[in-house]
Amino acid sequence: MSDELTFNRRNFLAGMTALAIGFRDQTLQGLEKLKPEEGAPDNEEFWLRVRNEFQIDKDLIALNNVGVSPSPKRIIELQAKLQREANLDPSYIMWRKQDKELEAVRESLAKLVGCKPTELALTANASFGLQTTISGFQMDPGDEILTTNHDYPRTITAIQQRERRERIKMVQIELPPRPIEPHEWANLIESHITPRTRLVCLCRINYLNGQIVPLPEIKKILQPKNIILMADCAQSIGLLPDTFQALGDNIYLASLHKWMMGPIPTGVFAVREDLIHRIWPLHPADADLDDNITKFEQIGTHSSAPMLSMKEGIEFHHWIGLERKSARVAHLRGLLAKGLAEAQGARHYSHLGENMGHGMYAVGFDKVPSAQLAGWLLQKHNIHVTTSTRNGFDGIRISPSIFSATRDIELLTSILVKVSRDGLPS
């Protein structure tokens, strides 16, 4: 019995290796058939082939992809295979084999982000990095963190908790519910900095309406004052050609399960080497890791399968190409905005300018509350959007992706034009 079990186990492990290799070959062969040189933003044949790389629910139109994105089918399959392999003997396979393979993923992601591997922690999401930074960055009572009322709610909550616990101070810039010009940002930042400002926390792309925040320009204001910039790139990685260096060379965090379309949950947290010791980890680490980026990874037992599957996610991203992905999303977003330009009583919260917005379009209508509209779209038309209803916004947020079909955008547009004119049916 023992010999038979050993034999079967070895065969299974060998089979898992073969499956992984076969998966890689199958993925590359499938992608090669897509002929990326043909991938113009309006080439529907090309994007239909890309769509077929995803597990699409034909009865549901998914348009909240800035929240979390589906992964390509083969990534889901690989993650499941790796999980099954780990469960043969988690103590040995997960800790001694799979964990070691994560270093290759770290190197690939560091190259993508534009930092050193020794500056990049592998995390579950952007929230991990922002909460670690806000809770752990060394500050004294009375020191200030500068942010805006449009930044991610977890950012605001983390600062407020530290206010209560340690008597630091949040300074919040009140932004209007519309995109503002790049030069306005510089003036706003300058006017809110004080001698006690230690940390500035800003999104690269705003989650409410897709506003692009000019972090490279803001970086130039902060650097001479020795103020640290935390760049929340949850909505920009995989969509904008940003690098760690360009966005401040301080602190960078992102989720990989949005525009990178990686496994759920995956993220990165990059910290310049000489800043690592200034941030306490949320999960305690040994003193000899004070200057080591891996101190932020001491979170206890967790699966390596999602992050290992990101190897294929990176290849998929590079094959499609950032410029091609970005152009397709901008094209669909533009179709939506153009179709709604003359809609009656429409409130447009997003901007189509190249350096002003990306990834999503937020719009509201005078004749129907936004939350009611979002619910009606799902119930009556199987169209899933979300709402932007904070800090002066009152709209629905629509975010197509590279697998979204043009016909679905056209259908939604026609429905919303009718709603803007007639309201919801009784």
- Residue 205 placed within a domain: yes
Residue 167's domain comprises 99-315
- Residue 373 placed within a domain: no
Q: Which amino acid is at 417?
A: V
Per-residue pLDDT, 32? 57
Q: Residue 230 belongs to a domain with what CATH number?
A: 3.40.640.10
The values of phi and psi at residue 212, to 5°, are -85, 125
Residues 343, 390: Cα–Cα separation, whole Å? 23
Per-residue pLDDT, 384? 98
Chain centre to alpha carbon of residue 198: 25
The total number of structural domains in the chain stands at 1
DSSP lists the bridge partners of residue 398 as 361
Residues with pLDDT less than 50, the chain: 1-24, 27
User: What pTM was estimated for this model as a whole?
Assistant: 0.91
- Residue 62 placed within a domain: no
- Residue 179 placed within a domain: yes
Closest CA to 404 of 417, 425, 419, 385: 385
Closest CA to 189 of 212, 168, 215, 159: 215
Chain centre to alpha carbon of residue 359: 11
Residues 94, 115: Cα–Cα separation, whole Å? 27
Q: Which amino acid is at 410?
A: E
The answer to whether the beta carbons of residues 255 and 154 sit under 8 Å apart is no
- Residue 54 placed within a domain: no
- Residue 41 placed within a domain: no
Per-residue pLDDT, 354? 77
Per-residue pLDDT, 426? 79
The two tokens of residue 371 are 């939350």
- Residue 336 placed within a domain: no
Chain centre to alpha carbon of residue 180: 22
The two tokens of residue 115 are 């930092």
Closest CA to 145 of 169, 109, 117: 169
Per-residue pLDDT, 5? 33
- Residue 268 placed within a domain: yes
Per-residue pLDDT, 282? 95
